[in-house]
Chains A and B, each alone.
Chain A
Amino acid sequence: MKTILIVSQDPLLTNLAERLLTPRFRTIVLGGMVSAVDAIYNDIPNLVIAEVPSGDDATVESINNLKEDPMFNQLPILAVIGDQPTPEWEGIFVEDYLRKGDLEKDLFSRVSLAVSRSERVVEINPLTRLPGNISINRQIEDRLGRGDLFSFAYADLDYFKPFNDKYGFSRGDEVIKITGRLILNFVKNRQPKGSFIGHIGGDDFVFIMEPGLIEGACGDIIRAFDQIIPTLYDSEDRERGGIQSKDRRGTARFFPFMGISIGVSGTTIRSFSHFGELTGAASEMKHFAKKTKGSSYSMDKRAGRSA
């Protein structure tokens, strides 16, 4: 059964909502958004109905904070407002709203619709919940079209395949999830607004940032990656500094700990007419980075127009 979290201090509202939604849905009632966030962290519901009283900035802030994380970005939130004028929805990350006076008539139907809509496939990578290729291409094309100045990074892992082969795919998946999370958090830390992180697939990731910020983020990501990755190896392999596994030709050899290689290009040094040129340039830089032993990044310094 789908779970609906109802967040309001108004007993009239919560009682009404519970009456309208049960027995079709399982309902949980909480008094405030702060405790609701905590409950959501424990167990993600299928939808949140939150009363957003006019001028209640704390509730809006909690909602926005929650929705900024990709793990919870897909969680639909239905705001309930009173008789106040409709708020500016721009800065409030909810999917839909209802007025208190319309609950009796519309709540059940709106909730059912929102739940089924959220179940339709969204283009995200199921492992990392980061946007995939369609969104990545659109992000790049939009920025190129607007003539934005931005930097683009292409990252992948060194020695991921032997790790996957030796320990199995579920532990390989953990590495991918950790990589996605680290990139996301360190990019967002340096540039909370206007940055973008995508997951192409496998161990390939991309991110877009303001040119002045990207080099710092690359350094952060590499440091964090190199700290965490060794802890994912079995203790004997960790002592040894790597694993015995097979290379692409099937020959057994020793592989050191995985590293991350990042190539960076961007519109400040050259102009690009379409996304393929830009991703190609970043990918070339990534190959430079790969030649360095261990994790590293490589910045495109080649001026002029790309061929």
Chain B
Amino acid sequence: MDSIDIRTQRTRIENINALPTVPGTVKRISQVIGKPGVTLSEISHFVSSDPALTTKVLKMVNSAIYGFPGRISSVSHAIMLLGLSVVKGLLLGISVFEIMQQVMAGLWDHSVGCAVVARAIAEKKGVKDAEEVSVAGLLHDFGKVILMLEFQPYYEEAMKQAASRKVPIFEAERAVFQETHAAVGTWLADRWRFPPNLVEVIECHHRPGSAKKAPLETAIVHFSDALVRARGFGFGGDSLVPAVHPAAFELLALSDADIRDLLDKLENSRDESGGLSL
């Protein structure tokens, strides 16, 4: 067993209904839900700190039942539209990873770190919906979760190859799966009717030059990914710091002071509660 053509598994991937989360989140769900008088913004804050909860909420609000397909890409908007009782039901229905818990915890930290940095850059750049960019940062790697979850032995092989050949994980993925986590994430994000801009960031975060609808958002997440890895936050599947696409870096036009400020924000987000939080 060393490789599989993931493109032949697309239907299986598209039939996935939900992502599991890490054990730490499950412990916090009942605390948050059980809190008397919990507000929508507290729940939004909590949901935004976890990729699995975020996908669940976005999938529901963009589904045919509510009838806003491809429209809602912000967690706080989703929660205002779904309402407390539906969101509680969604959170209680989450399951937890039984596999690769340590790798997953590392990926969760990486994702939350990207969300923090992406939001901060979006605010600096005066993007109208900084929250949407933050969501894109949180979810850019969710294809990795799918690959680890459904094809664990192959993913372990990819991580091993990334380490031994000293190549980025997406190159090792291509060797093992013929495609990368970016493509796999895009299949499911499309299927779940995530808004087109969000889908594009997921698809193009390693090649921001190809982004057509959301070039700025894609460049932001692309850069956040590199910065969070450079800072040694979490674990994205390999230990390398990827090269930043020069055009993306120019588009963002961040000064040294900006970057120092971003690193401070990342640091502060870690200090807040022992773990990372937005």
Contacts and interface: CB of A to CB of B under 8 A. Distances in A.
A227 interface: yes
Contacts of B259: none
B100 interface: no
Interface of B: 17-18, 40, 60, 63, 65-68, 71-72, 74, 76-77, 80-86, 88-90, 92-93, 128-129
Most chain B beta-carbon neighbours within 10 Å: one of A42, A186, A230: A42
A41 B80 contact: no
Contacts of A173: 67
Given A38-B93, A41-B93, A189 B68 contact: no
A71 B89 contact: no
Contacts of B86: 41, 69, 71
A37 B68 contact: no
A238 B128 contact: yes
Contacts of A178: 68, 81
Nearest to A170: B67
Most chain B beta-carbon neighbours within 10 Å: one of A44, A65, A173, A184: A65
Contacts of B76: 227
Most chain B beta-carbon neighbours within 10 Å: one of A66, A182, A185, A230: A185
Interface of A: 34-35, 37-38, 41-42, 44, 62, 65-66, 68-69, 71, 173-174, 177-178, 181-182, 184-186, 188-189, 224, 227-228, 230-232, 238
8 contacts: A38-B90, A41-B93, A65-B88, A71-B66, A181-B80, A185-B82, A185-B83, A224-B80
A79 to B, nearest CB: 18
B80 A69 contact: no
A224 B68 CA distance: 16
B65 A44 contact: yes
Contact of B80 (A35, A228, A232): A228
Contact of A68 (B18, B85, B129): B85
Contacts of A189: 40, 83-84
A65 B18 CA distance: 21
Contact of B129 (A34, A66, A231): A231
A125 to B, nearest CB: 13
Nearest to A44: B65
B271 to A, nearest CB: 29
A44 B128 CA distance: 35
A231 B70 CA distance: 12
Given A65-B89, A228-B77, A232-B71, A41 B60 contact: yes
Contact of B81 (A34, A38, A182): A182
B80 A34 contact: no
B83 A181 contact: yes
Contact of B93 (A37, A231, A232): A37
Given A68-B85, A69-B85, A69-B86, A181 B66 contact: yes
